[in-house]
A and B are shown apart, each in its own frame.
Chain A
Amino acid sequence: SQTIHQWPATLVQPVGSPLSLECTVEGTSNPNLYWYRQAAGRGLQLLFYSVGIGQISSEVPQNLSASRPQDRQFILSSKKLLLSDSGFYLCAWSPGAAEAFFGQGTRLTVV
């Protein structure tokens, strides 16, 4: 069966520091991969999605970037964090263009 791993679960980083969040999927090949951010107050905002290695689409211009160095690995990065980058970051995968399955999330607090 397919599983998705996302880490770390929580992270406290100072303003201006770099960020790297990692997500991996097991049990499937060539999944679609997504990064979402959920701010306090619940809405899920799509940040990036990828349909293949090296293929990244950005939905919202911001201080973040994403990379997909391997088929089942998706990384969210920032060179310099802002206070506004705080939030709950969720990685998700889908077998095609329909259902998405989410990881456990990373709670990022920028101080």
Chain B
Amino acid sequence: GQQLNQSPQSMFIQEGEDVSMNCTSSSIFNTWLWYKQDPGEGPVLLIALYKAGELTSNGRLTAQFGITRKDSFLNISASIPSDVGIYFCAGQLSGYALNFGKGTSLLVTP
């Protein structure tokens, strides 16, 4: 599958700070998805993006589908301790398989 580059690899922030992470690909995608995974659990879908330029929010989370269709970002505003986890981006061009980034590990200190 296509290679997704997700950055940063890890983030260590204080509660209340805003967070930004992104994903880039050398190939275009038709769909971008963002997931969060808690330790020992399966990833949970946070936001799905279907159109280039689309900006979607889910509570304190905002994600955008890049105009070039080769990138996406996720922002978390006013972080709280329960935001701790690993965040994955995933892209899909066609067919049935999602391509996942390697994840951004987020740690939030009170």
Say yes or no: is A81 at the interface (Cβ < 8 Å to chain B).
no
Closest to B35 in A: A102
Q: Which of A14-22, A66-74, A92-100 lies at the interface?
A: A92-100
Residues of A near B48 (CB, < 8 A) are 98-99
A109 to chain B, nearest CB (A): 13
Residues of A near B44 (CB, < 8 A) are 102
Question: Interface size class for chain A?
Answer: 20 to 34
Closest to A91 in B: B42
Check A51 against B96 for contact (C-beta < 8 Å).
yes
Q: Which of B56-64, B66-74, B76-84, B98-106 lies at the interface?
A: B98-106
Check A44 against B41 for contact (C-beta < 8 Å).
no
Residues of B near A49 (CB, < 8 A) are 96-97
Check B102 against A42 for contact (C-beta < 8 Å).
yes
Check B43 against A102 for contact (C-beta < 8 Å).
yes
